[in-house]
Chain A
Amino acid sequence: MKPEEAAELERAKEQLLVLARDVNAMYQAERARARELESALDALEESYLATVRTLAFIVEAKDSSTREHLERTHDYARALARVVMPDTEIGPDLSYGFLLHDVGKVGIPESILCKPGPLTDEEYEVMKTHPLIGVQIVAPITFLGGAVDVIRCHHERWDGRGYPDGLAGEDIPLGARIFSVCDTFDAMTSDRPYRRALPFDDAVSEIERCGGTQFDPDVVDSFVRMCAQLRDGTAGLAAG
């Protein structure tokens, strides 16, 4: 090798070393930034959830049902979603949907919403508009994602006799199928002004009886299994 070639090679080596150090420094800086962004995203998600909770509680305060019903139903539905979809990461949008399912009730007159006795046919028709009112209310909130399905479809029935769209079977979004089981279950196991709470096992049997008509039979199977584990104390309703 000629001396000038050797010198050039030496300079190339030095340049390479400097660049390697640069790459390392830039990589470290990027990683630090990625970690920062990740924790910012977590914080953002938490404040989204807090906002959604607040919105949901405002609605429930007007309704006869309670904050506890809302929180319990949300926890049941998250737990059931994990059983039904064991291989899927359950995103926050399902939580948003579970919490906001009745947001459209703000558009229902209190005379109907809080009526102590049974509703007339006309009143019931008004009551049945709440899912679509809810969808309109949340329409500008883009981060809700799949939550809107739960708001729209939580009164649909597996046999197609629900509302507002009369969807049947798997045309009903899975999140809504999961939620309606939990919503009904918690309503049955809670005291209401006009009736006492059903015992846990009776409520589970009632849900089981409605599999294939009101509810998705597969979701009901998962629910029954989950309840058996709860009764045995082999599973908890860990929040999340």
Chain B
Amino acid sequence: MDAARRVVLVVDDEAITREVVTVMLGIEGVEVHAAHDGEQALELARDVRPDLVLLDVMMPGIDGFEVCRRLRDPAATGHRPRVVMLTAKSDEESRRVAAEAGAEAYLVKPFSAIDLFRVVEGAA
């Protein structure tokens, strides 16, 4: 990972995922912000302008795919962060939808710390 400022936004309704990501990426000196639903995620993304958003799929309110679409909307001007889905859904259909929504990678829960570091580095 380069020494430049790296900001990651993790979005998950379950606290364990938010905490694990915050602690693991903290080791690498990444600035981590956390949101517990889609609404809060979109708001935080505007404020902190993350380089990468780690996004759960099944959340109350706006689901992860929709959040991803809005973050990656080609019509939107300005900041478009990289998105990696972070989800227990590992079926082909979900992967296809994620790719179409503009996610560049797909981490299946429970996820490995090594894979997590890899996606933050952009090597996934």
Contacts and interface: CB of A to CB of B under 8 A. Distances in A.
Nearest to B113: A22
Contacts of B20: 15, 19
B114 A26 contact: yes
A8 B111 CA distance: 15
B113 A19 contact: yes
B16 A18 contact: no
A22 B111 CA distance: 10
Contacts of A22: 112-114
B97 interface: no
Contacts of A15: 16-17, 20, 109-111
Contacts of A23: 113
Contacts of A25: 114
Contact of A18 (B17, B88, B110): B110
Interface string B93-117: 0000000000000000111111000
Contacts, number: 35
A17 B113 CA distance: 11
Interface in A188-238: none
Interface string A20-47: 0111011000000000000000000000
Contact of B109 (A11, A17, A21, A26): A11
Interface string B14-35: 1011001000100000000000
Contacts of A17: 110
B109 to A, nearest CB: 7
A171 interface: no
Interface of A: 8, 11-12, 14-15, 17-19, 21-23, 25-26
Please give me the 6 A-B residue pairs with the lowest Cβ-Cβ distance, nearest first. Answer: A15-B110, A22-B113, A18-B110, A12-B16, A14-B110, A22-B112
